[in-house]
C-alpha cells in the first residue's frame, strides 16, 4: 500500500523504477485512508505477498497491525513527513537504498503497541502532545518537519496544565500535574525528536515519559534538548517502564499515535512483544 499524495506520491515513480531494477515483483495500490490500507494489506496477506508500506508512520502502523494479525512480513519505505520508524530502524530515506532492503534485508520480530484496540508502531502520547498533533495535522501552511514545531508553538500559547492519573501494570494509581504522557515503543516522534532515548522495539516493554508542570517559557528551552535525548536529565521529566499503562486525565484528550488520533482518554496502552516481522537493514 502506498499513500497517494505528499512525499510518497512524488517519489512513487522513482520507487517503482528501483523495484524494477532490483528484479522485485511488485504491485502498487494507492490508499484512500488507513482503513483502505488495512483492506489492501489483508488482500496481500491472503495472496501470500509481503506487504510494503510506503508512506508516513501512520500508514506503516496501520499496515503493521494487519500484518501482525495474519502472521505476515512487513516491508517499510519511508514516504512521510517525519519518517520516525524508518529512522529508528536505520532505513535510508532515499528510494534506492530503501528499496534494496526489501531484497537484501533480514527479517526480525518487533514489538507493537496497542492503544485501546488499535495498534501502533512508534509512540502514543496525550496531553499537550494531543493539542500539538491536532494543530500540526490541520495546518496546510507549513510543510515537512517544521509542521511539528509549528504545532508545538501554537499549542503552547494557550496551554494549561492537566492532571493525569496512571496505573502501570495494574498497580496502584499515581497522579501528577503537567504537560504530557508519552508511551513509547520506539525512540522518535515528531520528525526526529528522541523523546524516549532508551526505548527499544524488541524488549517487550514500553518506555513512559512524563513531562511534569513547569513554566511555559521554560518549555521553549526544553524543546531543543529532545532532539538529542538529554531532556530526560531535567528534574521535571520522569521516565518509567511498564508493559501496560492506563491513562486518565482531568479533561478530555485524544491519544495520538504515529501522528494520527487513535483513542480517547481514559485509555489503556499495552505492548505486544515480537508481534510483527519486519525487513530491516
Helix (H, G, I), strand (E, B) or coil at 130: helix
**pLDDT value, residue 141:** 64
Give me 130's grid cell. Answer: 494531543
pLDDT tens digits along 23-37:
999 999 989 889 999
Non-local CB neighbours of 33 within 8 Å, separated by 6+ positions: none
Rounded CA separation 60/77 (Å): 9
Helix (H, G, I), strand (E, B) or coil at 239: strand
Residue 21 has pLDDT above 60, yes or no: yes
pLDDT tier, 144 (very low <50, low <70, confident <90, very high otherwise): low
pLDDT tens digits along 211-249:
999 988 888 888 889 999 999 999 999 999 999 999 999
Rounded CA separation 115/167 (Å): 14
Q: Per-residue DSSP letters for 212-250? A: E---HHHHHHHGGGGGTTGGGGSTTEEEEEESEEEEEES
pLDDT tens digits along 89-142:
999 999 999 999 999 999 999 999 999 889 999 999 999 999 998 988 887 666
Q: What is the C-alpha R_g of the chain?
A: 18
pLDDT tier, 81 (very low <50, low <70, confident <90, very high otherwise): confident
Are 120 and 56 in contact by the 8 Å Cβ rule? The answer is no
pLDDT tens digits along 60-69:
999 999 999 9
Give me 31's grid cell. Answer: 490508499
Q: In terms of C-beta density within 10 A (0-12 exposed, 13-18 middle, 19 or more buried), how is residue 175 classed?
A: exposed
- H/E element holding 90? none
**pLDDT value, residue 8:** 76
**pLDDT value, residue 1:** 57
Residue 4 has pLDDT above 70, yes or no: no
Cα angle: 47, vertex 49, 51; to 5 degrees = 120
Rounded CA separation 65/121 (Å): 8
pTM of the model: 0.91
Amino acid at each position: 500500500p502506498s499513500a497517494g499524495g505528499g512525499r510518497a506520491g512524488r517519489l512513487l515513480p522513482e520507487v517503482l523504477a528501483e523495484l524494477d531494477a532490483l528484479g522485485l515483483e511488485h504491485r502498487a495500490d494507492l490508499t484512500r485512508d488507513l482503513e483502505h490500507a488495512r483492506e489492501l494489506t489483508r488482500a496481500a496477506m491472503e495472496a501470500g505477498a509481503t506487504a510494503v508500506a510506503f508512506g508516513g508512520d501512520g500508514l506503516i502502523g496501520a499496515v503493521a497491525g494487519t500484518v501482525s494479525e495474519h502472521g505476515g512480513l512487513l516491508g517499510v519505505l519511508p514516504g512521510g513527513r517525519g519518517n520516525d520508524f524508518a529512522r529508528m530502524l536505520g532505513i535510508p530515506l532515499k528510494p534506492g537504498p530503501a528499496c534494496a532492503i526489501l531484497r537484501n534485508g533480514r527479517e526480525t520480530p518487533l514489538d507493537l503497541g496497542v492503544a485501546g484496540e488499535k495498534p501502533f508502531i512508534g509512540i502514543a502520547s496525550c496531553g499537550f502532545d494531543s493539542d500539538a498533533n491536532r494543530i500540526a495535522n490541520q495546518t496546510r501552511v507549513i510543510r515537512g518537519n517544521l509542521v511539528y514545531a509549528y504545532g508545538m508553538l501554537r499549542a503552547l500559547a494557550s496551554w494549561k496544565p492537566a492532571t493525569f492519573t496512571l496505573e502501570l501494570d495494574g498497580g496502584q494509581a499515581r497522579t501528577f500535574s503537567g504537560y504530557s504522557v508519552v508511551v513509547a515503543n520506539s525512540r522518535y516522534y515528531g520528525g526526529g525528536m528522541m523523546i524516549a532515548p532508551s526505548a527499544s522495539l524488541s524488549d517487550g516493554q514500553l518506555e513512559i515519559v512524563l513531562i511534569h508542570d513547569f513554566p511555559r517559557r521554560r518549555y521553549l528551552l526544553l524543546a531543543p534538548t529532545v532532539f538529542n535525548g538529554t531532556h530526560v536529565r531535567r528534574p521535571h521529566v520522569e521516565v518509567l517502564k511498564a508493559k501496560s499503562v492506563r491513562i486518565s486525565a482531568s479533561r478530555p484528550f485524544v491519544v495520538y499515535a504515529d501522528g494520527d488520533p487513535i483513542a480517547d482518554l481514559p485509555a489503556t496502552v499495552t505492548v505486544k512483544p515480537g508481534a510483527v516481522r519486519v525487513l530491516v537493514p
